[in-house]
Structure 1
Amino acid sequence: MSIFSSSRARRVYGTVAAVGASALILAGCSGGTTPSESSAPSADREDLTLSIGTVLPQTGALSYLGPPEEAGVGLATAEINEAAKGITVEVQYGDSGDPDNKAYETTVPKLLGSDVSALIGAASSGVTKLFLDQAVSAGVITFSPANTSPDFTTWDDDNLYWRTAPSDLLQGEVLGNLIAEDGNQALGIIYLNDAYGTGLEKVVNETFTASGGEVVASESYNAGDTNFSAQVSTILAANPDAIAVIGFEETSTIVPSFVNSGFDSSKFYFVDGNISQWGDDMPVSIEGSKGTQPGPVLADDFQERLKAQWLEQGDGNELVDFNYAAESYDATVLLALASLAANSTDPADIASKLQEVSGGSGDGEKCDSFADCADIILGGGTADYDGYSGGIGFDDAGDPTEASIGIFQYGADNTHTRVN
Structure 2
Amino acid sequence: MTRISRALAVAAAASLAAAACSSGGGTTAVPSTAQSQPSGQAAKGDGTLTIGTTLPQTGSLAYLGPPEFAGVDLAVKEVNEAGGVLGKPVVKIDTDSGDTTTNIASQSVDKLLAQKADAIIGAASSSVSKSIIDKVTGAGVVQFSPANTSDEFTTIKDDGLYFRTAPPDKLQGRVLGDLAVADGNDTIGILAMQDFYGSGLADQVTQTAEAGGAQVVERVDYDPKAADFSADVAKIKAKNPKAIMLIGFEETAKVVQELVKQGLTADKHQWYMVDGNMSNTNYLKSPRGTLKGVKGTIPGAAAPAAFQKRLLSVDPKLTNYTYAAESYDAAILIALAAQAAKDDSGKAIAAKLEDVSKGGEKCQGFKACADLLKAGKDIDYDGVSGPVDFNDVGDPSVATIGVYQYGADNRYDAAKALEYRRGDISG
TM range (shorter): 0.7 to 0.9
Q: What code does the residue aligned with 1:71 have?
A: A
| Structure-2 change in CA distance of 1:55 and 1:279 (3 Å) | closer
Q: What code does the residue aligned with 1:144 have?
A: S
Match of 1:118 in 2: 119
Distance of 2:46 and 2:382 partners within structure 1: 25
- Secondary structure in 2 aligned to 1:53? strand
- Secondary structure in 2 aligned to 1:219? strand
The CA deviation at 1:32 is: 5.2
Say yes or no: does 1:309 pair with 2:308.
no
- Secondary structure in 1 aligned to 2:90? strand
The CA deviation at 1:377 is: 0.2
Contact 1:226–1:250 under 8 Å retained in 2:
no
| Structure-2 change in CA distance of 1:130 and 1:280 (3 Å) | closer
Distance of 1:281 and 1:226 partners within structure 2: 20
- 1:163-186: CA deviations, max 9, x gaps? 111000000000011011111111
What value does the CA root-mean-square deviation take over the aligned residues? 1.6
Contact 1:279–1:413 under 8 Å retained in 2:
no
Distance of 2:147 and 2:363 partners within structure 1: 23
**Unaligned runs of at least 5 residues, structure 1:** 1-29, 35-45, 312-317
Say yes or no: does 1:290 pair with 2:295.
yes
- Secondary structure in 1 aligned to 2:89? strand
Q: What code does the residue aligned with 1:269 have?
A: Y
Match of 1:231 in 2: 232
Match of residue 275, structure 1, among 260, 274, 278: 278
| Structure-2 change in CA distance of 1:279 and 1:248 (3 Å) | closer
Q: What code does the residue aligned with 1:79 have?
A: E
Contact 1:282–1:414 under 8 Å retained in 2:
no
- Give the TM-score normalised by structure 1: 0.86
The CA deviation at 1:224 is: 1.2
Q: Report the count of equivalent residues.
A: 371
- Secondary structure in 1 aligned to 2:48? strand
Match of 2:218 in 1: 217
The within-5 A match list for 1:370-381 is 370-381=366-377
Contact 1:87–1:340 under 8 Å retained in 2:
no
Say yes or no: does 1:399 pair with 2:399.
no
Match of 1:319 in 2: 318
The within-5 A match list for 1:251-262 is 251-262=252-263
Q: What code does the residue aligned with 1:190 have?
A: L
Distance of 1:236 and 1:203 partners within structure 2: 22
The CA deviation at 1:105 is: 2.3
- Give the TM-score normalised by structure 2: 0.84
Contact 2:4–2:160 under 8 Å retained in 1:
no
Distance of 2:322 and 2:158 partners within structure 1: 26
Larger RCO of the pair (alpha carbons < 8 Å, separation 6+): 1
Q: What code does the residue aligned with 1:395 have?
A: N
- Secondary structure in 1 aligned to 2:49? strand
Contact 1:122–1:146 under 8 Å retained in 2:
yes
The CA deviation at 1:47 is: 11
Match of 2:363 in 1: 367
- 1:326-375: CA deviations, max 9, x gaps? 0000000000000000111111111110000011xxx3100011111001
Q: What code does the residue aligned with 1:296 have?
A: A
- Secondary structure in 1 aligned to 2:158? coil
- Secondary structure in 2 aligned to 1:348? helix
Match of 1:75 in 2: 74
Say yes or no: does 1:240 pair with 2:236.
no
Match of 2:405 in 1: 409
Distance of 1:261 and 1:308 partners within structure 2: 45
Distance of 1:198 and 1:158 partners within structure 2: 25
Provide the identity percentage: 48
Match of 1:345 in 2: 344
| Structure-2 change in CA distance of 1:32 and 1:196 (3 Å) | closer
- 1:256-299: CA deviations, max 9, x gaps? 21112222324210000001113753514201000000001221
Contact 2:46–2:345 under 8 Å retained in 1:
no
Distance of 1:207 and 1:332 partners within structure 2: 34
The CA deviation at 1:88 is: 1.9
Name whichever of 215-224 and 365-374 sits farther off.
215-224
Distance of 2:311 and 2:213 partners within structure 1: 42
